[in-house]
Amino acid sequence: MAVVVNPGLDRSGKQYEWQLFDGRTWLPIINDHLIESNYCQPGAKGITIVTRLGSLYINFDGMTISGPFQCLAVRRLSSLSHNQRENVGWYFRDKNYWSEYGIQGSSNHMPSISSQDIEQQYNSNPTGSFRFTTGKYTYVLNFSAMMQTNLSTQKQRKVRRRPKFNSVVHVYNSLNTSEPSTSTINPFPLAPPSVSSSTTVAWQFMGDEGMWTDYQKPGSSLDSMDIEREYLRNPHGQLAFTAGRYSYSLYFNGMYQINLTYKTKRAVQRISVDQSSSTLCQACWQYKDMDGSWKDFVKGTGKGKCSVSIQEIEMQYQQNSAGVIYYNSEQFRYMLAFSEMTQTNLSTGKRRPVRRV
């Protein structure tokens, strides 16, 4: 990712700023929304940026920099008004996923506490710890070590605290109580329900690993075209659908979906993809086959085809270049890890190289 350090950066419209210390002064980083979008993904360990000082790696957990100069440092500043705060998510490492507290994870384990509960404890004592009980187990979350410990089994899980991208919480006082109330708002409102003739619309929900995932059939009873049709008819309404054995409601006003069984809530977004642009078309995704040759990912059914297209892989990569994407072939299910550029057969464990050309 190419970024430029510039002391004259215009910060209008942003509630954050990433800065680089060059040994003498703190300088803003242009295009820091690219850093921010990666930082907001709980599965992202860090990001490599290219500056006039060379190629630098930012470690998100330690907020440290690896590069040719030892004096370099990085920081993230927040500029919110007195009645706003960042909408923060707290995540624990659940097997191969980062799962948000209060939202069902890959192992159907759903802590009774939420990100908001933990954030309140963290703000009162950022170097302390927090004890909570879920089911028959009691846990301690150590903020300094960012580690959760099961006090019965001593099982430990890594924990991460990351902001939600472009989302702040407005804090206000109710007329009938002295306690603050909160509501989540997005400083970058949804575009009007219209697109140009050269664009197509994709509807996505925030899936596991903090990765935006398309609504697709047959996994869901609706796809982007179905949702868009209903949205254009009533942009302030809601839509019922099913995915697997669960039923959901999608709310256009708040841009979220709710699992009607577990009452879990996930963010939803509507994005416009420019069909005339070559951004998603120039990149070609390939895997190394058994004979050593590189072959394109081809969407479809039958031998040599899978459930995702090159364009869909590229779109997910643009959303989170450190994330993963899951797909199926005729016989097997696979995981493509962007950070390692490998695909793994989840049945056999066999790994193959993947490349983006």
Residue-wise pLDDT tens digits, 243-301: 988 999 999 888 889 989 888 888 888 876 544 443 434 578 899 988 888 899 988 88
Return the CATH number at 52: 3.30.720
Alpha helices in the chain (DSSP H): 32-39, 115-124, 224-233, 310-319
In a domain, 269, yes or no: yes
pLDDT in the model for residue 141: 96
- Domain of 17, in residue numbers: 4-78
Q: What is the rounded distance in angstroms from the CA atom of residue 129 to the CA atom of residue 20?
A: 31
- Both 206 and 268 in one domain: the answer is yes
In a domain, 258, yes or no: yes
User: Residue 303 — very low, low, confident or very high, per pLDDT cuts 50/70/90?
Assistant: confident
pLDDT exceeds cutoff 80 at 350: yes
pLDDT exceeds cutoff 60 at 190: no
In a domain, 320, yes or no: yes
pLDDT in the model for residue 142: 96
Q: What is the rounded distance in angstroms from the CA atom of residue 242 to the CA atom of residue 319?
A: 25
**Torsion angle of C-alpha atoms 342, 345, 346, 351, degrees rounded to 10:** -40
Last residue of some domain: 274, 305, 327? 274
Last residue of some domain: 27, 61, 78? 78
- Both 107 and 70 in one domain: the answer is no
In a domain, 318, yes or no: yes
- Both 161 and 91 in one domain: the answer is yes
User: Residue 109 — very low, low, confident or very high, per pLDDT cuts 50/70/90?
Assistant: low
- Both 88 and 161 in one domain: the answer is yes
Return the CATH number at 248: 3.30.720.50
In a domain, 177, yes or no: no
Last residue of some domain: 78, 110, 135? 78
In a domain, 176, yes or no: no
In a domain, 93, yes or no: yes
- Both 262 and 289 in one domain: the answer is no
SS3 category, 299: strand
- Both 26 and 93 in one domain: the answer is no
For the chain, what is the domain count?
4
pLDDT exceeds cutoff 90 at 104: no
Residues facing 203 on adjacent strands: 270
- Both 108 and 70 in one domain: the answer is no
